[in-house]
Amino acid sequence: MSVFTGAGVAVITPMYDNGEVNYEELGRILEDQIAHKTDAIIICGTTGEASTLSHEEHLDVIRYAIQKVAKRIPVIAGTGSNCTETAVYLSQEAEKAGADAVLVVTPYYNKATQNGLKRHFSEVANSIHIPVILYNVPGRTGCNIQPETAVWLAKNVENIVAIKEASGNISQIAKLMRLADGCIDLYSGNDDQIVPIMSLGGKGVISVLSNVAPEQTHNIAAAFLEGDVRKSCELQLQALDLADALFCEVNPIPVKKAMNLLGWAAGPLRAPLYEMEEEHAAQLEKAMKEYGIL
């Protein structure tokens, strides 16, 4: 059984002006996401600025989200690290807190070999009992999970059950699904590729767009899952300009700006990320207006 199907939100971590986590606003955001049909919460991923949270903050945010959501929809905790020992620790703590699954990114900066990736993900997965979703985003990490490696992991480690693919390489993803022959679930990691990846057998998307358009993103995936591919494609194409604007600077700079524009107290970014440039902010605001959410 899949961890989830449809659109899961890679949710932001709202912060006060002094940089501390704004749990009250996070709670409001989580409630709004559930009310607007989001199918899963992904907490403390890239969009949640996990890389600049301390370990204590990281786990506190995960615990808060799990308690707030209270099993209404799955909560998937981002627990990846470029240190295997740290990823094991975060994953074990997330399991203790009640996470439904963990999302584990490839070790960034280290540039592990494929054999190194097999060992890293195996050690993390074997340290816990809940499902593991691999996260492949080579543009950020400098490390690519080859299709053969992902399939080996799915076949040899019982609780490695899925992969979030954000490589953007449709040919590689197609090869993965051919080799997998159903042994691993696939989620799009790019909002502009929901329909293409679902056409290859994907179960849905782990989405940045869902932060600002949760029901619309849910509908893209839901229409496809219901067999209305034409409608799904239309909705996907309508969202392209906004999806592009949300990545006109590195994630999560634009999406935090967008949330603030929508009236959420998303707050500032943690350094080394800073406010987006004026021309990009104007592009984002224009795309939001044209999409009808601002």
Catalytic residues: 135, 164
Q: Identify the helix (H) or strand (E) that includes residue 35.
A: helix 23-35
In whole angstroms, what is the distance from residue 177 CA to residue 184 CA? 8
- The rounded distance, in Å, linking the Cα atoms of 75 and 136 is 19
Please tell me the distance from the alpha carbon of residue 154 to that of residue 235, in angstroms, as a whole number.
Answer: 32
Q: 164 pairs with which residues across the strands?
A: 135, 187
Q: How many CB atoms lie within 10 A of CB 113?
A: 11
| CB contact at 8 A, 237 and 218 | no
Cross-strand bridge partners of residue 207: 9
Quote the CA–CA distance of 44 and 135 in Å, as a whole number. Answer: 13
Q: How far is CA 48 from the centre of its chain?
A: 9
* Alpha carbon distance 176, 145 (integer Å): 10
DSSP helix, strand, coil percent of the chain (3-state; round to 5): 50, 15, 35
Q: How many other C-beta atoms can be found within 10 angstroms of the C-beta atom of residue 210?
A: 32
